[in-house]
Amino acid sequence: MPKIDLAAMEQTNRTGYPPQFAAAVADRWVRRLGPAAGLADFGISHVVLKPGAASSQRHWHEDEDEFVVMLSGEAVLVEEAGRVLLKAGDMAAFPKGHPDGHHLVNESGSDCAFLAFGRVPMGDAHYPDIDLRWSGGTYSHKDGRLF
């Protein structure tokens, strides 16, 4: 497998979130490594969070395992049980079907970077803090109404 040239890859801050939920991730910058490396069974993203940015809205997946490895800087992992500081070299796992919403928030004054491993979810994702649900490939309100 050839070495991945991170600097040559597109870095984007696009999101599929409805506009009212997108501000939290406006300063999240992502490079999708999986497609560039020809991977099909799982994805890997290189993520940079600017100060104040979140990795996502707090969420959990019915059918997708997730795993993160902090590369540089620090971010706070927020879950139901509380908050844990993650620094370079720290890792965290989020098993599918475990109903504990999670996300990372950069509360420091410097950028942080991490690798996120997972795959495109096929089942529902739940967002406990906001009126949002991912189901059937689209976002809707928790009661099923489309945005």
If we measure between CA atoms, which residue out of 124, 134, 105 comes closest to residue 18? 134
| Residue carrying the six token digits 């942080």 | 112
Helix, strand, coil percentages (3-state) for the chain, rounded to 5, are 10, 40, 50
Q: Where are the domains of the chain?
A: 6-140
As a whole number of angstroms, the distance between CA 21 and CA 56 comes to: 9
pTM of the predicted model, to two decimals?
0.95
Spatial contact of 124 and 134, defined as CB atoms under 8 Å apart: yes
Residue pLDDT tens, the chain, 147 long: 588 999 999 999 999 999 999 999 999 999 999 988 889 899 999 999 999 999 999 999 999 999 999 999 999 999 999 999 999 999 999 999 999 999 999 999 999 999 999 987 789 999 999 999 999 889 999 999 999
The domain 6-140: what is its CATH number?
A: 2.60.120.10
